[in-house]
Chains A and B, each alone.
Chain A
Amino acid sequence: MSGFKSTERYIASRDLEVAVNAAVALQRPLLVKGEPGTGKTVLAHEVAAALGHPLLEWHVKSTTKAQQGLYEYDAVSRLRDSQLGDPKVADIANYIVRGKLWDAFEADRPQVVLIDEIDKADIEFPNDLLLELDRMQFFVYETRQTITAKHRPVVIITSNNEKELPDAFLRRCFFHYIRFPDRPTMERIVDAHYPGLQRDLAREALTVFFQVRDVPGLKKKPATSELLDWLKLLMIEDLPAEALRSQDAKLVIPPLHGALLKNEQDVHLFERLAFLNRRGG
């Protein structure tokens, strides 16, 4: 069957393709987990592009309520309007603000909905969306109407694992864990993003990158997106491959490390290790 596949810009492993296609075929949500920076959010963009559907993004924060994705009743405006004697006040429908899911349900063509970082919200958030994602419909109490999806949207949900998600919610989803890519896959990813990159620079950079990832005790291991940023910097600075190779034997801080190490303590750890290495060697 046709469907989602790797593109020139996005390298998807075969298991990811199967998971996406299963979710699309059965019209179930797809839950994607994985280290930060391995392309969870980008996946939704690529799926939307591959299927030719528009993408609706719903970014979840710690204060986000499930209701906000459906609709909100703006009681405060209505109260204010009533005090000012605005005639709009008589119709409650004027104060119903549509959420992302409502937009997706009412759309004339299928949509891809991204619910980004669902684990940031309150523990009850996923539970509050169970029925809505299952039946793809919800009820608006204020106006007594039921909103049903004209076309069931493709729902992609990402999580960074900060909270456990409830079982009942998980039962309804397909699940995919994006593993950190191995070296050959990484080479393909780099090639997809920077086709003009000198071969030896890419090779040296990847060696350094995987070395950095192997350092024990790092607070935040650099991921794919960090690698891509770093390569971009290396290209802008026009560093020769030798600049990276000189450190093969010993671990030292790689040039432009700011793109790879995002944490002050990690940089300190690195400096300490580099110092020990110099003394030892």
Chain B
Amino acid sequence: MFAQFVLALREAGVPASITEYLTLLGAMRAGVADYSVEDFYYLSRAALVKDERHLDRFDRVFGQVFRGLEAAAEGGDGGIAPRDLPEEWLRRMAEKHLTPEERAQVEARGGFDKLMETLRQRLAEQQGRHQGGSKWIGTAGTSPFGAYGYNPEGVRIGQDKSRHRRAVKVWDKREFRDLDDGVELGTRNIKLALRRLRRFAREGAATELDMAGTIRATAHNAGSLDLKMVPERHNAVKVLLFFDVGGSMDDHVRASEELFSAARSEFKHLAFFYFHNCPYERVWRQNQRRRDAMIPTEEVIRTYGPDYRAIFVGDATMSPYEIATPGGSVEHWNDEPGATWMARLLGQWRRSAWLNPAPRDEWGFTQSVGMVRQLMEDRMYPLTPGGLDEMIRELSR
């Protein structure tokens, strides 16, 4: 029944499965949605979307697939006023039955009357097939609502009638836009490589019975029980990510975002910051608000202890002055050169690395890449699965 909808969702990147589709149908049969479009929207959302990042995509697809449905539903109980009906219908007919050539003709002649005349003719011809009250909306489903307001002469479809559009508003508002991460989870390669960094370490309170230790201690006590406990294993790797954004990095945004999505699901302790070209005295967390939500780099250094591993992602392609001299930044006046700030960051996080999305054999062509490599004590790796492996071997020492 709604297979089309589920397929459209999958195409848009919402990972809905057959199980979930069946669940939705089961809930429909159980009468949860009560024949209201809005309830159906809520129900299908609860059944098919399992991550708030996908809610916005869901809203968009829902709007597309069920455009026009709300008119049918409202018509069912409230009823469309009789005098509205022919007018509405005519308008929709305009979209459905005029060929592009005809539409061009209408535009060329600028004759709205002519258009209505044509429509009336069509209407007369079509009466036999399209008579039944609300049915025509159902059959129209796909196209007539789709192309809004094609004709500049004013035969606009579906844009004026606010009364009929109450239901569609809910998903047209697109309230979950902020939650969309924008990128699909990155390549499996990146995830697998990062997983290696997720080393298990024992620390914290003693919570697990140490079987071998207990047996040894009990034997030592000549058979009377002596329990030994060990701390439980848990993921103790903490990671700081610094992303270069803007300028020459625009070409590499996709690869970087993939890395970011992959990293996000792999680490319990992960913080990320943005910088431009080279880190200076301030970084930011939200790229859209970089002007008003700056964070002093000092504060970052104070906040995250030396047990974090710092990973910089950037192409390190810039003017040498941006690294070496005060006031070299392209964005603002920096009192201290980038190299000083890099040294401070590396002093705080001994285990650190620089990932470069540019291929390794291009590094030699840019002076600044060499300078950054020197600052990083050669811990610069290409953003490839192989490069990630190298980096992780270095970081997990």
Residues of A within 8 A of B (CB): 1, 14-15, 18-19, 21-23, 25-26, 28, 30-31, 33, 62-63, 76, 79-80, 83, 122-123, 162-164, 167, 170-177, 179, 216-217
Contact = CB atoms under 8 A, between A and B. Distances in A.
A28 B55 CA distance: 20
A123 B285 CA distance: 26
Given A33-B52, A76-B209, 9 more contacts: A15-B42, A18-B43, A19-B42, A26-B26, A76-B227, A83-B225, A175-B49, A175-B51, A177-B176
B200 to A, nearest CB: 11
A170 B51 contact: yes
B228 to A, nearest CB: 12
Interface string B10-30: 000001010110010011001
B234 A62 contact: yes
Interface string B175-186: 110010000000
B38 A14 contact: yes
Interface string B192-218: 000000000000000101000000000
A123 B266 CA distance: 10
A30 B46 CA distance: 9
Interface of B: 15, 17, 19-20, 23, 26-27, 30-34, 38-39, 42-43, 45-47, 49-52, 55, 175-176, 179, 207, 209, 224-225, 227, 232, 234-235, 264-265, 268, 285-286, 289, 292-293, 295
A175 B39 contact: no
- The B contact surface, by secondary structure, is mixed
A14 B47 contact: no
B39 A18 contact: yes
B300 to A, nearest CB: 12
Contacts of A79: 225
A179 B293 contact: no
Given A25-B32, A177-B55, A18 B289 contact: no
B48 to A, nearest CB: 9
Given A22-B32, A26-B27, A31 B50 contact: yes
Nearest to B17: A171
Contact of A1 (B32, B179, B232, B265): B32
B266 to A, nearest CB: 9
Contacts of B17: 171
A162 B235 CA distance: 13
Contacts of B26: 26
A125 B175 CA distance: 31
B46 A15 contact: yes
A22 B50 contact: no
B45 A216 contact: no
Contacts of B43: 18-19, 22
Contacts of B51: 170, 175
6 contacts: A1-B32, A76-B209, A76-B227, A79-B225, A174-B23, A217-B293
A83 B289 contact: no
A171 B50 contact: yes
Contacts of B179: 177
Contact of A22 (B47, B176, B293, B295): B47
B268 A163 contact: yes
Name the 9 nearest CB pairs between A and B, nearest first: A170-B50, A19-B46, A18-B42, A15-B42, A25-B30, A177-B52, A216-B293, A164-B265, A217-B293
